[in-house]
């Protein structure tokens, strides 16, 4: 899901069959983000700098190199900026279309998801 930070509306949605990693789904959907737009993403999109240079990702810690206090503070700022995305995802999950197994016709999943995104956009106004 692509969420506008200014008005907290869902702009774009993409789906895949079965379990698929977020970044792989992003690449396969051919969603284009304008180079001037700042993309604030989670750690699942590691490697997006090659596709979209104007993107912000939190730092990951490793066993041998823990995060410094400054890196933790930066991660906190990034997560506080991304909270609008998480609220939109949480709103959609209230309808159980993402949080549980989808048991209806697969053909209409996109339609139903986009209708719920429209309800979310209407509610966010």
Instruction: Look at 68 and 22; give whichever has higher pLDDT.
Output: 68
Rounded mean pLDDT, 14-34 = 85
User: What's the pTM?
Assistant: 0.77
What does the alpha-carbon distance between residue 119 and residue 7 come to, in Å, rounded to a whole number? Answer: 14
Going from the C-alpha of 125 to that of each of 3, 8, 80, 81, 115, the distances in angstroms are 14, 8, 21, 19, 16
In degrees and rounded to multiples of 5, residue 63 shows phi and psi of -65, -40
pLDDT band at 59 (very low <50, low <70, confident <90, very high): very high
Count: domains in the chain = 1
Rounded mean pLDDT, 69-80 = 94
What count of residues does the chain have?
125
Which pLDDT belongs to residue 98? 80
120 in a structural domain: no
Which pLDDT belongs to residue 78? 92
Going from the C-alpha of 5 to that of each of 26, 40, 111, the distances in angstroms are 19, 10, 24
Q: Tell me if 13 sits within 8 A of 1, measured CB to CB.
A: yes
123 in a structural domain: no
Rounded mean pLDDT, 37-63 = 91
122 in a structural domain: no
Domain hosting residue 27, numbered range: 2-115
91 in a structural domain: yes
121 in a structural domain: no
């Amino acid at each position: 899901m692509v969420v506008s930070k200014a008005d907290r509306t869902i702009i774009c949605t993409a789906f895949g069959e079965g379990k698929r990693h977020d970044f792989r789904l992003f690449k396969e959907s051919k969603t284009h983000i304008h180079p001037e737009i700042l993309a604030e993403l989670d750690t699942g999109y590691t490697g997006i700098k090659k596709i979209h240079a104007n993107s912000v990702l939190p730092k990951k810690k490793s066993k041998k190199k823990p995060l410094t206090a400054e890196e933790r503070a930066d991660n906190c700022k990034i997560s506080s900026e991304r909270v609008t995305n998480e609220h939109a995802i949480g709103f959609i999950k209230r309808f159980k279309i993402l949080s549980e197994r989808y048991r209806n016709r697969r053909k209409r999943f996109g339609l139903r998801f986009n209708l719920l995104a429209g309800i979310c956009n209407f509610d966010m106004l």
